[in-house]
Structure 1
């Protein structure tokens, strides 16, 4: 997982990008808690509700 790699980085105010392999709820939550923003690639084989749920973490600060 990428969270241990990001532990030593100052993320506040930064934009973090990730490919489909790293599009994970835990990573999104970690990035938001650190005061950063994320841009994740989501493949077309993912169900729409799952994609919307990840986006809600940023918009509401809580799980759907």
Structure 2
């Protein structure tokens, strides 16, 4: 059984403040079922969905700037 870690409200508030100060959010919309496909692909290569999307964007921007 997975171990459950409790996070205090103060800890969560600190994390949320850090994220809002250091990151921008993008709301990405994909067709039904595609999120699962993308997640599965990212997981296959040991990446989170977020890191996979960021890497894909970075690689495309790099390729387009050549």
TM-score normalised by L of structure 2: 0.23
Which fold has the larger relative contact order, with Cα–Cα distance below 8 Å and residues 6 or more apart in sequence?
A: 1
Larger radius of gyration: 2
- TM-score of the aligned structures, taking structure 1 as reference length: 0.24
Identify the structure with the greater strand proportion. 1
